[in-house]
Structure 1
Amino acid sequence: MQKYFVGIDLGTGSTKAVAMDALGNTLATAQSYYPTSNPQPGYSEQNPDLIWRAFINCINKITTNLNVPPAAISFSSAMHSIMPVDEQGNALTDAMLWSDARSGDIAQKIRDNANGEDLYKHTGTAIYAMSPLFKLMWLRENDKEFFNKAFKFISIKEYVWFKLFDVFEVDYSIASAMGMFDVLQLKWYDKALDLAGISSAKLSTPVNTDHKRYVATVDNLPGIDTQTAFIIGASDGCCANLGGNAVRPGIGALTIGTSGAVRVGSKAPVYNYKAMTFNYLLNADIFICGGAVNNGGAAVDWLLKDFLKLEHVSDENYKYLFKTIDTVKPGSEGLVFLPYLYGERAPVWDAKSSGAFININIKHQQQHFLRAALEGVCFALNDVLNAVENPEEPIKEIVISGGFITSATWVQILADITGKKLVLLQGGDSSSVGAIYLAMEALGIDISPVINKEAQDRVEIEPNAEAHVIYSKIFPIYKKLYSDLKSSVHQLYDLNN
């Protein structure tokens, strides 16, 4: 059998694996799910051992299916997780995830401080509760026992990497999303470490995203041999851009999964302190710039599970949702949804924000609320797109990925709201594919045949001109709504928390 490569994406709700040969043919896929924990309001945690077991499970499924060891395994991973571990790499607590909001007040104080912009420009990470920097500050103030016990503070990817190789290393990409890494100097930023109350010795050694290692023993790794190269890889967002060939000027990438993000490739950071766009590293030379929203598929799931009281959401429920909203005209007859159910990141950056349906009247029925919810998520991402787009180099097309791509209705709404051509690639999960590209390049393999194949297997979705005109009139109203409501929302938040 021709040699193959595996891309592993360590996600918030599942680990995914894609096996691909050097010509870009997808040979096998696997996915293993796990839960998150919300023990208190604002808390979002995960047991890292579940992720390790999911990784082993996915590798086992791939190697059992293909019956030969892979040439390389490369990692993509969700960003912004952090946990204290001991010297043997054992987790002292569950990992705090990107969605953990308990450090929101700490982050806001830093953002209001005169030094906030300096911190943002050096680290590339938005000043918000998602940042591991502020999670560490919260731990130091509220959980001193585990803060003081920690030998290191690491992410979920570093946890898996340590279990494989018994060494604490972090790739530039994951490090650049921690709020403590100088993305220009490629080293830990002293001013950020001072805020966290730690030294660089408490963090892993930064390495480039093509860094590779080989395991000394394969006793606990089914289907792997000692010749299989392990590539440390990058973050999920950066890998998604690479996997979608969206690192060139004029090409954007947009993902809607549990959350959502808009990203563009750049040779230099794209700073916007007001919108707090991020600047993460794909490697030592390429930045992936953009913004993330908290509320993507999570907002739609809430609508189905809690608003419509569907205890177990099935594929049939989603089919019903999308069939129903096709009967409603663009704009949902004036009903507008602010999708900030889990607080919001770019460009609002308000952990106290909340969702709202605006302009409800007697003509609005269930289907209007369903369509308005999808439109609200797309309006939020269009807001980020406007913040990151360079007027001198406009985005001509957007490569899309994530769970939402299974709905032609949702994809068309996004095209109509943004007014951009959307491109859907058929090569599998873009983050896992991007990790494969990093592996191939790390081993000196030309990836152009794979990229050329991807270019042939693409589907283009054009915006509907009439719908875009309607949405262009609604969007300025959407943008203004939260600023009008913010004071009242904060008062209600304080009364109920």
Structure 2
Amino acid sequence: MGPERRVIVGVDVGTRAVRAVAFALDGTARHVATREYPLREPMPGWQVQEPDVLMAATLAAMTACVSGISGAEVVAVALSSARYGLIGLDAAMTPVTPLLTQRDRRSSEAARELRSSGQSRELHRLTGTPVHPMNPLCKLLWFARHEPYLCATARWWIGLKDYVIHRLTGMVVTELSSASGTGMFDVHRRAWSSAVLDLAGVSESQLPPVLPTTAVLRLSPMAGRAVGLPPGTPVVVGAGDGPLRSLGAAAIDHTVGGLTLGATGALRTVVRDPRIDPDETFSCGALTEDAWVVRGAVGNGGNVVRWAGRVLGDEHATPALLDVAARIAPGSDGLVMLPYLRADEAPPESCAPPGAFLGLRSEHSRGHLVRAAVEGVCLQLGGLRDRLADLTPIGSVRLTGDAFRSPLWREVMAAVLDCPVQVTSAAGDAALGAAALGLFAIGHTADLQEALTQLDSGVVGGEPVEVDPALTAAYRGLRARLPTLLTVAGQLGEILDEVAGAGLSAPVRP
């Protein structure tokens, strides 16, 4: 059977959908199957999913993908998943809790207490993960406080990827990437931290053993029958979706940053060993034993422009609004937006003022408002790059994500970054990253770069973004004034909070 009939299947299990993608080993073709699943919000701030519903969708997507490549040889299945989820299981591996997703905020109080007590700094130094409600550590602290019996009697506490691995292979294990995002794993010793486990109120025996991300397990007979693959098919345990997006965007050189912009935004780069920033801004998690992804995130990205579309007219007309905004001069004629519409518990956004338009005048139009929103988000992401430079210098950036289909987003982001910028064709595809990691893990390539090139030669290149030097200079001046604007806005936010707390309001006139 020729290489065109041999494929590797990358499976990316996200928070809203699973994608199973079969990549031909010669890079000539791929077949995609997607299945969605619901999120539940049983209480304000809670966000959960039913593990068995999610797993049924995963098996359905894999089945559809395999049936779509009938006759091809599947050399391996490689896994990616969202990190930071938590599931409690009993001794029979039956879920006793739903999956608490990354955006479940019930443990916000626990996170605030760890930060206010000063414990967060040492926890970050040890685990590479800033204290945040999304972390399994904080979720376990919530269970210990509110459901102590469940916390004490659960046989296992595992993540989303771990549950998928168990259902596909019968093994109860995790891998280095997912473990390094729990807030309980000592990234320097590469082992669970006994001190943090004591704080969380769990024992090491309640957590799964940690394998390398390149570990190869075998598909169980039951799972094989369910998806139409031979039992014993290699299953590469893979990594978290964030690190694999860096790989899928070919941003795996320590001098290259991968910037992804969807509803939220993230900037990542890869270093050889864990690096911890003193400001608790960046997380550091594993892609492989000697490739660690340093990541900074913002909670407000493309959602800001969608919000503007909703309040200014038609939220489905975002492309048209961006076209209007592109006709506005850089700097939006003095209008500045601080794009903090959605609160985020992690630094630096936990210290951010409320969202605001500053300098609003009657001559400003909807185009000004939208352009100021784009510029505000890009300035925020540019600030991440500045802080990341203290850990490792970045000489160029690769842009991925749906937002960068817009020429305006590309132009503004490149001008703010003020370095060589390319837009990649793979859109930071975690399934592609999983497949490339899988190909390397089973020995088909000598390194990750070769694996990525073999599956998708186009991703290693990219479309350069040309920027007028005058535009770069304009945004450089705005970035220099941004700290002052943030200080003023923060003071105004404190005044508004005091007014709201006092219950003051304008009188109602008949």
Instruction: Give the alignment's TM-score, normalised by structure 1.
Output: 0.90
How far does residue 179 in structure 1 lie from its aligned partner after superposition? 0.4
1:5 to 2:8 alignment: yes
Correspondent of 2:88 among 62, 66, 84:
84
- Specify every segment of 5 or more residues in structure 2 that has no aligned partner in the other structure, as ranges: 503-510
Contact 1:63 1:69 in 2 (8 A): no
1:283 to 2:282 alignment: no
For these two proteins, the number of residue pairs brought into alignment is 491
Contact 1:341 1:353 in 2 (8 A): no
Q: Residues 443, 449 of structure 1: CA spacing in aligned structure 2 closer, same or farther, 3 A cutoff?
A: closer
Aligned to 1:72: 76
Q: Which moved more, 1:439-448 or 1:393-402?
A: 393-402
Paired with 2:124 and 2:451, the residues of 1 have a C-alpha distance of: 38
Counterpart residue identity of residue 373, structure 1: A
Aligned to 1:174: 178
Aligned to 1:194: 198
Aligned to 2:107: 103
The CA deviation string for residues 388-411 of structure 1, in whole angstroms up to 9 with x for no partner, is 1248x6322112222223222212
SS of the aligned residue for 1:265 comes to: strand
Paired with 1:91 and 1:437, the residues of 2 have a C-alpha distance of: 31
Counterpart residue identity of residue 374, structure 2: L
1:261 to 2:266 alignment: yes
Paired with 1:336 and 1:89, the residues of 2 have a C-alpha distance of: 52
Counterpart residue identity of residue 194, structure 1: D
Contact 1:270 1:277 in 2 (8 A): no
The aligned runs of 1:237-386 (5 Å cut-off) are 237-305=242-310, 307-308=311-312, 310=314, 314=316, 317-344=317-344, 347-350=347-350, 354-386=354-386
Aligned to 2:407: 408
Correspondent of 1:210 among 209, 214, 218:
214
SS of the aligned residue for 2:5 comes to: coil
Paired with 1:146 and 1:349, the residues of 2 have a C-alpha distance of: 33
How far does residue 373 in structure 1 lie from its aligned partner after superposition? 1.9
SS of the aligned residue for 2:226 comes to: coil
SS of the aligned residue for 1:9 comes to: strand
Aligned to 1:63: 66
The CA deviation string for residues 14-33 of structure 1, in whole angstroms up to 9 with x for no partner, is 22233212233342223333
Paired with 2:322 and 2:147, the residues of 1 have a C-alpha distance of: 45
Counterpart residue identity of residue 436, structure 2: Y
Aligned to 1:451: 453
Counterpart residue identity of residue 119, structure 1: L
| Residue identity (%) | 27
SS of the aligned residue for 1:109 comes to: helix
Contact 1:347 1:383 in 2 (8 A): no
How far does residue 161 in structure 1 lie from its aligned partner after superposition? 1.5
Q: Residues 411, 143 of structure 1: CA spacing in aligned structure 2 closer, same or farther, 3 A cutoff?
A: farther
Instruction: Give the alignment's TM-score, normalised by structure 2.
Output: 0.88
Aligned to 1:27: 30
How far does residue 69 in structure 1 lie from its aligned partner after superposition? 4.9
The CA deviation string for residues 65-102 of structure 1, in whole angstroms up to 9 with x for no partner, is 21135211111222211132223333333322222233
How far does residue 219 in structure 1 lie from its aligned partner after superposition? 5.5
How far does residue 175 in structure 1 lie from its aligned partner after superposition? 0.9
Paired with 2:197 and 2:230, the residues of 1 have a C-alpha distance of: 39
How far does residue 427 in structure 1 lie from its aligned partner after superposition? 4.1
- Specify every segment of 5 or more residues in structure 1 that has no aligned partner in the other structure, as ranges: none
Paired with 2:429 and 2:224, the residues of 1 have a C-alpha distance of: 30
Counterpart residue identity of residue 438, structure 1: L
Aligned to 1:49: 52
